[in-house]
Homo-oligomer: A and B are copies of this chain.
């Protein structure tokens, strides 16, 4: 029996001790009419050999060169990370309820909190939320709770925030009567026009500021932050953690800095893996820490006075506070956080800076080369991080992407569904994993594709 150690003798001894004659007797409190007959639609068991072969077949296939970003980014992942993370002691432990038996996990999270706080320029970090999108939803809920100056449930949500994040936030916050009001971007720059923000926005709980925004474009975070604070809003920053090695940390935006910082942790050593598990990070300053959802680890001392670590501020959490908790989150993304912690440790500030810089340079090079192709224009000339938008003249973005794929290239993410105003447009990403050769490969493939499509159109 897979994974069950019982011998016939064990079973007999145990049944005798219990005083029943059959395992079935242990289920005698379940009303007979409820018992299942069979599970016909479930295939019979496979041994590991057969399963392994099946999964190898399913994992096989060509691996195209990937220029898609749009919220999940291909970065180099040091081999050491997952070799350590999948050690049984991390992999098969759970939430560190028994602190003395979980110092490994606890210290690691404390170190993670420290790294994230320093990276974002904030004073506190939690131990993770599910992902960047649900993390933003939690940030919105937190902002409504935390903004003492405002009674409002209105949130200003720029159109330049990842549309998937906006959808998720909507799903999660709408049940509490919170409204997300769209702030539009400037068609020329792909960013929010600080100048055109209303002088009298009314009572609003928070402004969300993405940096970089979904188009890869950098927002005027300082002006936006100051404007929001001037109108009694909190500022929720949604940031890419890699970019923070290069860009002003939210804690330093404008005069006072952002109030809540959240984002997707995936770029920090987490494989693309079809979309998860990733993790959402969240940071804030100490004055708001009691409103923060999620686990937090604190350093303390043991009975001998030696430093040690334990979960802290648990009175925010569902297992203590139940219906009054800051969130319902319980299981989080701990193992992925372990990966990110090791990633940041292996890279260090210098290494992360190089990753950010190289990604940015690759984006510049690729964008430059692509927009030289006939029929291809760059949508925005603004400063960007590692993504950009290109528009196609007279050909369908879907068609272009299909043909690029036939050449072994994942060309980008089609924006037409989310941003119809952009026409036939895609979002392209180049990280540090791309070589000069990769960039030329894209360039020449797209040239060929555009020529063919133009030709067939003509």
Contact = CB atoms under 8 A, between A and B. Distances in A.
Interface in A74-92: 76, 78-79, 83, 86-87
Contacts of A79: 48, 52
Query: What number of copies of this chain does the assembly contain?
Result: 2
5 contacts: A49-B76, A49-B432, A52-B76, A83-B86, A87-B87
Interface of A: 47-49, 52, 76, 78-79, 83, 86-87, 432-433
Given A47-B76, A49-B433, 9 more contacts: A48-B76, A48-B78, A48-B79, A49-B76, A49-B432, A52-B76, A52-B79, A83-B86, A87-B87
Contacts of A83: 86
Contacts of A47: 76
A87 B47 CA distance: 25
Contacts of A433: 49
A48 B81 CA distance: 13
Contacts of A52: 76, 79
A220 B375 CA distance: 79
A78 B51 CA distance: 11
A52 B86 CA distance: 20
A76 B433 CA distance: 34
A433 B50 CA distance: 8
A79 B87 CA distance: 13
A49 to B, nearest CB: 4
Nearest to A91: B83
Contacts of A87: 87
A321 to B, nearest CB: 39
A268 to B, nearest CB: 15
Nearest to A433: B49
A87 B87 CA distance: 7
Contacts of A76: 47-49, 52
Nearest to A438: B53
A86 B79 CA distance: 13
A53 to B, nearest CB: 8
Contacts of A432: 49
A60 to B, nearest CB: 9
Nearest to A346: B48
Query: Which has the most chain B C-beta neighbours within 10 Å: A48, A49, A86?
Result: A49
A67 to B, nearest CB: 16
A344 to B, nearest CB: 16
A116 to B, nearest CB: 24
Nearest to A355: B49
A322 B432 CA distance: 54
Nearest to A76: B49
A437 to B, nearest CB: 11
Nearest to A87: B87
Contacts of A48: 76, 78-79
A387 to B, nearest CB: 20
Nearest to A83: B86
A6 to B, nearest CB: 15
A78 B48 CA distance: 7
A380 to B, nearest CB: 29
7 smallest CB-CB distances across A and B, nearest first, come from: A49-B76, A48-B78, A87-B87, A49-B433, A83-B86, A48-B79, A48-B76
A63 to B, nearest CB: 9
Nearest to A86: B83
A432 B52 CA distance: 14
A186 to B, nearest CB: 37
A432 B49 CA distance: 9
A83 B88 CA distance: 9
A436 to B, nearest CB: 12
